[in-house]
Amino acid sequence: MRNFSHYGASFECSQALVNGATVMVRLEAYLSECRSDCQERIDCPWPPSIVLGDVKWCRDLSANGLPRFGVGVKFHLQV
């Protein structure tokens, strides 16, 4: 994952995703944001999250023959 907010995220993956496709994003143990000394996953203040979103863009970032794509997703927000 490159960045995220309450409204969406951008990440890299090995497959191209189609603009407009609905995807499920699962976030687990995002350690760079963890500000506690939790020893067990269950103690982490950043629990796993699952959200649906729409692919807004997909860019080819391939290099050295390895497939790599940058993807932007806008989350489906619940009101």
CA distance 62 to 19: 18
The single residue listed with the structure tokens 């989350």 is 75
What is the pLDDT at residue 2?
Answer: 87
pLDDT in the model for residue 51? 87
Q: Which residues pair with 9 in a beta bridge?
A: 4, 73
- The residue assigned the tokens 């997909």 is 58
Render each residue's pLDDT in the chain as its tens digit; 79 residues.
888 887 888 999 999 999 999 999 887 765 555 555 666 555 555 555 788 999 999 999 998 888 999 999 999 976 5
Angle at 17 between CA 14 and CA 22, to 5 degrees: 130
